[in-house]
Amino acid sequence: MARDQIDTQPIQSRDELVAWLEEGSKAPSKFRIGTEHEKFPFTLNGHEPVPYEGENGIRALLGGMQALNGWEPIMEGEAIIGLADTIGGGAISLEPGGQFELSGAPLMSIHETCAEVNGHLEQVREVATPLGFGFLGLGMSPKWTLGETPVMPKGRYRIMTNYMPKVGTRGLDMMYRTCTVQVNLDFASEADMVKKLRVGLALQPVATALFANSPFTEGKPNGFLSMRSEIWRDTDNNRAGMLPFAFEEGMGFERYVDYALDVPMYFIKRGDTYIDVAGSSFRDLLAHKHPAVPGEGATVSDWANHLSTIFPEVRLKRYLEMRGADAGSWCNLCALPALWTGLYYDTQSLDAAWDLAKGWSAEQRQQLRDDVPKLGFKAQIAGRPLLEVAREVVALARQGLARRDMRDSQGRDETRFLRPIEELLASGRTQAEVLLERYHGEWGGSVEPIFDQLAY
């Protein structure tokens, strides 16, 4: 979840909301790649969750990280809740259950993205190891109950925690027990945004299968390959899902704004205070009629914060966020942005990806999205096995990256970052199925070895 925006410029009309989104359009030469990933902290001794307070807690980790990288602290009251790189644009933030997130800077290439991920994970390890904890890359915490999971001192999460059980059965699991890796990518125009949004939504279940990595809950197999993805199916369906309207004629920034206006609000932030307005309407705020802030209208911050509380499989802000993947191993944190960059930042691959998916109906897309958390590559779409579709999609991404021809200092292009998922496709098995095989075999029915084998 992104940091809260601070921009008190008033917004008077729906047209201004549309214009704000449209201002995200940029020339292809200015396209950037922003990668975000979350990870679970755990104690090296006992594999327990890590609390916020205490000399070996998350507050101490953030303090140590600040001393190491010199980033600005992000405070909420007396509590440090994150760090901001005011020069490069990256940030470190806390998710509700202590999941530690890097929101990467907007970068030119996957080479730079992977270097950023590597540098961050090395820094985190340098600070965390003396404190006695490590980090795990999985889509869902494999061992702890909801009750055992700590709660971070952030106002917006208190509001969401109270609201989630009213609108779905899995919202607290989503908040406290899941981790994702996502990539944020740019668009050149409204038409380019629409095409990318459609390709991203249609093919998001492919990414879910490619990165499926959450088969354990509370120490046992949970019956799914991506439990994280399954949890999203009943978190809050007013603000999640496959956005079928995006495929209808007339789709554009206005249509997304109308959708977002109908998504209930969580909070309004004034100064450092979060006002709980869960379930209320942004339209009332825009019309200066919101009972929580009598006479006040909406600001750019209010709109940006509201958009960050909408959770579809692909989210539109002033860029597009790919939201379908489980967090995973170190190399997978570079493979996910490589997949979508290859599809989005090469015109031929984007066109071919749309040709692949454009014949699918809304019902077929939804069925695939519903089937993938359990079936992975064994799911089907329009009579084709998903494994076959996924191989085609990854081949298109490889071709796109090859044509982009962004080289590192050793002369290598970006295609090498796809290798981890190409190896899975060659085997025909998801990462979750590999983990389950180990659990039933060499791990002897225990998830404890995962804390050694999948730690960063």
In a domain, 194, yes or no: yes
CATH code where residue 283 lies: 3.30.590.20
The single-letter code of the amino acid at 130 is: P
Per-residue pLDDT, 1:
43
What CA–CA distance (Å, rounded) separates 212 from 151? Answer: 26
Q: Is residue 1 part of a domain?
A: no
What is the rounded average pLDDT for all residues in the chain?
A: 97
Smallest CA-to-CA distance from 127 within 35, 73, 56, 50 is with 56
> What is the count of structural domains for the chain?
1
* Residue 440 resides in a domain: yes
- At residue 412, the 3 state secondary structure works out as coil
Domain that holds residue 426: 10-453
Please report the pLDDT score of residue 5 as a whole number: 60
How confident is the model over 92-137, as pLDDT tens digits?
999 999 999 999 999 999 999 999 999 999 999 999 999 999 999 9
User: What are the beta bridge partners of residue 180?
Assistant: 326
Cβ neighbors of 441 (< 8 A, separation 6 or more) are none
What's the rounded Cα separation, in Å, for the pair 139 and 433? 14
> Is position 233 within any domain?
yes
Give the pair of three-digit tokens for residue 358. Answer: 């454009």
- Per residue in 373-418, pLDDT (tens digit) is 999 999 999 999 999 999 999 999 999 999 999 999 999 999 999 9
Let me know if residue 355 belongs to a domain. Answer: yes
Instruction: With respect to residue 238, please indicate whether it lies within any of the assigned structural domains.
Output: yes
Question: Within 13 Å and on the Cβ side, how many CA atoms surround 38?
Answer: 26
Token duo for residue 91: 């940030």
What pLDDT digit, counting tens, does each position of 75-93 carry?
999 999 999 999 999 999 9
